[in-house]
Amino acid sequence: MSQETNDVLYLVVTNDEEQYSIWPAYRELPAGWQARTPATGKQACLDHIREHWTDMRPRSLREQAASAEADGHRP
């Protein structure tokens, strides 16, 4: 039986740039990614990402833009 069926549990994961993805809970996380939710269904993970990942820019770009705004420059 394939692990890629609807009964597979997933995790919401993020990397150091605060970018989101889903990952099958039965697989080892790739280097640089951390689990943010307990294992759950795929749709619940996608809903979590839709709710929480509201700015899709990488963290470093958001910080750069915020710094430029604080200095009175447009990003």
Tens-place pLDDT, residues 18-74: 999 999 999 999 999 999 999 999 999 999 999 999 998 988 999 888 888 777 766
Whether 44 is covered by a domain: the verdict is yes
Q: Which residues contact 65 (CB under 8 A, 6 or more apart)?
A: 57, 75
Based on the number of CB atoms within 10 Å of its own CB, is 45 exposed (0-12), middle (13-18) or buried (19 or more)? buried
Whether 2 is covered by a domain: the verdict is no
Whether 75 is covered by a domain: the verdict is no
Task: Identify the bridge partners of residue 20 per DSSP, sorted by sequence position.
Answer: 14
Q: Note the pLDDT of residue 2.
A: 47
Whether 5 is covered by a domain: the verdict is no
Domain total in the chain = 1
Whether 47 is covered by a domain: the verdict is yes
Specify the CATH number for the domain of residue 25: 3.90.820.10
Q: Note the pLDDT of residue 51.
A: 97
State pTM to two decimals. Answer: 0.76
Expressed as residue numbers, the domain containing 59 is: 10-70
Q: Note the pLDDT of residue 70.
A: 79
